[in-house]
Structure 1
Amino acid sequence: MISFQLTADLEASAKLTFENMAPYYAHYGVDWECSKIHEQIVSLENWDVLYNGEVVGAIRLAYDGDDCWLRDLQVSGEYQNKGIGAAALSEVERLAHNKGSRRMWLRVFKISPARNLYLRSGFVMDREEERFHYMCKEL
């Protein structure tokens, strides 16, 4: 069963993100540390993604007027391709709608397979940079 709860342990959540993102940091030559992730997520709305009661992922949101920014959606590698990411994205949409957001935005590495999940979920390409696609979805 997939469920969600507000994050109580930001350090563990930052570590999950650091480990999940390590291949992307290595690919792009980004020098990143777990402590930097922790610093950045403190000001966000943080949610744990649970599978059968175990934390297997993270959702991080920021709100700006009518917009909700999906700053992070992580699912641990061994739990990917089980529908957890799609369920988490549906939860993000519900949370954004409840806050009165009219649009959802995100940034995803071009090499990330998560891009396909976002396209299937109704996100459209807004613009791109060297490493990233920026995507939007009207709610």
Structure 2
Amino acid sequence: MSFEWRAAEVSDIEYARQLTCDNMLPYYLRHDLLWQDEAFDLAWVIRQNWIIQRDGQALGFVSLSRDARALYIRELQIDKAFRRQGAGTWAIGQVWDLVELERRPALRLTVFNDNPARALYERMKLRVVGEDECFLRMQRDVDA
């Protein structure tokens, strides 16, 4: 099974917003946070977004931002029907390739502390570098 990604288009925002809401709403509710479509839409337009596909079918997306310290995975969402098939591992590998290509010092992300995706991130060599009430900050350094 081979995956690919393509640059997201303006028309992909509805797909990405709905997938993120479907996947994340239980965490938002459990942690007493408010989901806002408008906040997602504002973030979407300032980030680099990639649609993850297999055989031309969208099965998720990754949303990235950058600064001098790191490349950040802001969202990595995989449709429930396609989980545990390697898409998340593949996507993080693609992002890590960007980290190296762009000579960024690190890859960073934030995850809900009760999200099982944490195990995937740890397998991909990200480590917890901080936490707050409901989130873990994870990082993988290039020189590690």
Q: Normalized against structure 1, the TM-score is what? A: 0.93
Q: 1:91 Cα shift?
A: 0.7
Q: Deviations along 1:43-97, whole A, 9 cap, x unmatched?
A: 0010011122111111111110141111111101111111111001101111222
Which of 116, 121, 124 is the aligned partner of 1:118? 121
The question of 1:2 aligning with 2:6 is answered no
| Alignment-derived partner of residue 22 in structure 2 | 19
| Alignment-derived partner of residue 101 in structure 2 | 98
Question: In structure 1, what is the Cα distance between the partners aligned to 2:32 and 2:100?
Answer: 36
Question: In structure 2, what is the Cα distance between the partners aligned to 1:13 and 1:59?
Answer: 9
Contact 1:18 1:37 in 2 (8 A): no
Question: In structure 1, what is the Cα distance between the partners aligned to 2:35 and 2:25?
Answer: 9
SS in 1 for 2:34: coil
Letter in 2 for 1:15: Q
| Alignment-derived partner of residue 51 in structure 2 | 48
SS in 1 for 2:43: helix
Question: In structure 2, what is the Cα distance between the partners aligned to 1:10 and 1:132?
Answer: 25
| Alignment-derived partner of residue 62 in structure 1 | 65
SS in 2 for 1:31: coil
SS in 1 for 2:103: coil
| Alignment-derived partner of residue 134 in structure 1 | 137
Residue segments in structure 1 that go unaligned for 5+ positions in a row: none
Q: Normalized against structure 2, the TM-score is what? A: 0.90
SS in 1 for 2:14: helix
Residue segments in structure 2 that go unaligned for 5+ positions in a row: none
SS in 2 for 1:42: helix
* Higher mean C-alpha deviation, range 112-121 or range 93-102: 93-102
Runs of 4 or more consecutive aligned structure 1 residues displaced over 3 Å after TM superposition: none
The count of aligned residue pairs is 139
Q: 1:11 Cα shift?
A: 2.7
| Alignment-derived partner of residue 84 in structure 2 | 81
